[in-house]
Amino acid sequence: MNEEQMIVKDALELVAASGTTGVLKSKLLSTLRTVDGQRLSPEQEASIFSTLVGRGWIVGHIEPVWHNTRWCLTVKGSEALSQMS
């Protein structure tokens, strides 16, 4: 597994841990780290998030009160995560 795949797996695990409440994109991306513990560059953040959304592994929904978009794991994302373990 290469570094990007490991980061995607970490992201899926974090989104899964958020349950049906979901996680804010900014909080998710700020939590992710490279293998050596460094923050992701903006390009890496965009690439990782694009992979998660593009493959249908996460889906966003709008909070009714604050109108923030929160991201939750899809069934497809859950299956992908289980295959990565």
Q: What was the pLDDT predicted at 1?
A: 82
Say how far apart CA 51 and CA 17 lie, in whole Å.
19
Where do runs of H (alpha helix) occur along 1-85? 3-17, 25-31, 42-54, 75-84
Residue type (1 letter), 41:
S
Say how far apart CA 69 and CA 22 lie, in whole Å.
9
Please, what is the end-to-end C-alpha distance for the chain in angstroms? 11
**pLDDT per residue over 16-67, tens digit each?**
999 999 999 999 999 999 999 999 999 999 999 999 999 999 999 999 899 9
Locate 64 and state its tokens: 């009714």
Angle subtended by helix axes 3-17 and 75-84, to nearest 10: 130
pLDDT category, 85, cuts 50, 70, 90? confident
